[in-house]
Structure 1
Amino acid sequence: MPKAYVFTRYGGPETEAFVDVDRPSPGPGEVLVAVRAAGVNPVDWKLRQGYRRPGDTAERVFPSVLGNEVAGVVEETGEGVTGFAPGDEVFGTAVAGGYAEYALLAADITAHRPAALSFAAAATLPVAAATAYDGVHQLGLPAGATLLVTGAGGGVGVAAVQIARALGVRVVGVAGEGKKALLESLGVVHVPSGPGWDERVRAAAPDGVDGVYDLVGGEVLHTAAALVKDPAKLITAGAPAEEVEALGGARVLRARSADVLRAVADLVVAGDLDPHITRTFPLERADEALREVESGHAQGKTVIEVAG
């Protein structure tokens, strides 16, 4: 039977397990893929802990397969699916988990993998890079403007700073000292996180910042709100909508479309976006991959690779 890495109830790492599962069958609007790579994201462990995405009212069925972004080869297509056929190499958003040998993808959030894009790189795009793309374009800053990114050293942050830089935007990135070299290699003005980081931002951007892309939330979001010239140019993927709206800003509006996936893939192929995969793990070490991200110390992207 196919293998998958799941969580059996809400909680910590102790709820995770490797299990044998039935091979899924695609429903209407779905494609079944043999997984070749799965991206690992903070949202994976947050969902395990009981986090619900905005608007999510469905009750979770356990065991629940971990993971949200997948690249693989189409095995079957569900009713009403057009544009995909068995053998197609694709990437997209998992319907019910991606740390597995097989996964279901929503066809309308799935795109064909360009030949120049590896499965591992493609698997980093549906959540992290697409979230970064949506947020940067939501802000709509002109070339020459200054963007502040908090939590700039993680998967979404690394993608966001590159997408902004490709648009001619100056980027100031807040992250730990261990991520300084990475961010500076991307043309970012690195500001160390920790007490007094806002004063360091003011020194790095004496004319103020034109936009804030927050990936941390909490106190960091509130501090960042005092740095942006126009509160409407404050967005977050790290805090609830009501929290950022009280500050005059907004949540990142996710397009969740194949068009965005194609756009970020094109950026990678063009050399404007490097997913910065720093660690890869086989499926049988999915627990280690998730610990790498859950620790908060991962630089760039962590990927689980599944043997073909």
Structure 2
Amino acid sequence: MSEAYVFTRYGGPETEALTDVDPPGPGPGQLLVAVRAAGVNPVDWQPREGLCRPGDPAERVFPAVFGSEAAGVVEAAGPGVTGFAVGDPVFGNTVDGGYAEYALLSAGATAHRPDGPSFTDAATLPVAAATAHDGVRRLGLPAGATLLVTGAGGGVGAAALQIARAFGVRVVGVASEAKKDFVESLGAVHVPSGPDLADRVRAAAPGGVDAVYDLVGGDTLAEAATLLTDRTKLVTAGAPPGTVAALGGSRIARARTARVLDEVAALVLSGVLDPHVTRTLPLERADAALRVVEDGHARGKVVIEVGG
């Protein structure tokens, strides 16, 4: 048996528990990994409330393990897997949860951890950094353009600011007043979140914005859209496809591949990208880690460290 942080039914935090589970066995195209660290993301708590992500099963089997990204050491490889050996340090997207001592990773969405980034830093790359990478690449802005990022103080937002700046793009970050110093430390112009956002952005970027990368959705997305003359430059990872399509934009299509993971790891190695892990907690405190992110108070990335 091994420990995992799970939810036992649909609902709120009252459904969560740290419990013993049988270690999973790797199927075709999968790796069994002894987890050293697991990133915590907003998408992690949504399945607990019954929301389905792409690739989720129609009927979930309980107890269900939380988590969508992890880093650790290969314990076993399933049929058809090549390029990985027992003992390899890796990081990638989990198949059925990562807040656990052992997790299954999809071999096609797993990369070797290079020398340099710790397991803790590597665990932040498959979801937050890769989502930021895919969004900035999708927008394809030239050097000198201005990008507005909403939700700029979180893990994806912080990575998007850094990656865009590396491409020579001017960045304006929307975040709470409490995250002002953090956003500015990443080289962005900070704009406080809240009503009348568009007016504050126009004041901060009098030349206008060329694109919007939204990580919030709702009223923030709708108001940010009014700043664009070309709505094809409106992308979101914070709202459903139908919502952003009605505004003329689109949702980020994630490229969940080892190639993308290698690229974001290279950004870390080159010094372009700092994962900005601002809080780490052990597996037995996974509830506290999840609350920080679910309540919207995370600055940078929160990571659960499992051991090893």
1:146 paired to 2:182? no
Residues 7-86 of structure 1 mapped to structure 2, 5 A cutoff? 7-54=7-54, 56=56, 58-86=58-86
| Cα distance in 1, alignment partners of residues 151 and 215 from structure 2 | 5
Letter in 1 for 2:202: R
Residues 191-210 of structure 1 mapped to structure 2, 5 A cutoff? 191-210=191-210
Secondary structure of 1:110's counterpart equals strand
| Cα distance in 1, alignment partners of residues 150 and 7 from structure 2 | 30
Letter in 2 for 1:6: V
Give the equivalent residue in structure 1 for 2:295: 295
Give the equivalent residue in structure 1 for 2:157: 157
Residues 81-92 of structure 1 mapped to structure 2, 5 A cutoff? 81-92=81-92
Secondary structure of 1:38's counterpart equals strand
The normalised TM-score by structure 2 is 0.98
Letter in 2 for 1:169: V
> How far is the alpha carbon of 1:50 from its aligned partner?
1.4
- Whether the aligned pair in 1 keeps the contact of 2:134 and 2:255 (CA below 8 Å) is yes
Q: Which segments of 5 or more consecutive residues in structure 1 lack a partner in the other structure?
A: none
Secondary structure of 1:32's counterpart equals strand
Q: Which segments of 5 or more consecutive residues in structure 2 lack a partner in the other structure?
A: none
Give the equivalent residue in structure 2 for 1:218: 218
> How far is the alpha carbon of 1:197 from its aligned partner?
1.9
Secondary structure of 1:209's counterpart equals coil
> How far is the alpha carbon of 1:55 from its aligned partner?
6.2
The normalised TM-score by structure 1 is 0.98
| Cα distance in 2, alignment partners of residues 292 and 248 from structure 1 | 33
Deviation sequence 1:95-129 (CA, Å, 0-9, x none): 01000000000000000001101000000000111
1:278 paired to 2:278? yes
> How far is the alpha carbon of 1:196 from its aligned partner?
2.1
| Cα distance in 2, alignment partners of residues 135 and 11 from structure 1 | 31
Q: Say if 1:224 and 1:56 are closer, same or farther in 2 by CA, change over 3 A.
A: same
| Cα distance in 2, alignment partners of residues 55 and 2 from structure 1 | 25
> How far is the alpha carbon of 1:60 from its aligned partner?
1.1
| Cα distance in 2, alignment partners of residues 252 and 287 from structure 1 | 29
Give the equivalent residue in structure 1 for 2:264: 264
| Cα distance in 1, alignment partners of residues 228 and 118 from structure 2 | 38
Aligned residues: 308
Give the equivalent residue in structure 2 for 1:121: 121
Moved over 3 A (4+): 54-57
Q: Percent identity?
A: 72
| Cα distance in 2, alignment partners of residues 243 and 27 from structure 1 | 36
Letter in 1 for 2:241: A
Letter in 2 for 1:99: Y
Deviation sequence 1:149-199 (CA, Å, 0-9, x none): 011101110011111011000000100011111111111000011122211
Letter in 2 for 1:249: G
Q: Say if 1:56 and 1:102 are closer, same or farther in 2 by CA, change over 3 A.
A: closer
| Cα distance in 1, alignment partners of residues 246 and 306 from structure 2 | 43
- Cα RMSD over matched residues? 0.9
Secondary structure of 1:265's counterpart equals helix
> How far is the alpha carbon of 1:54 from its aligned partner?
4.3
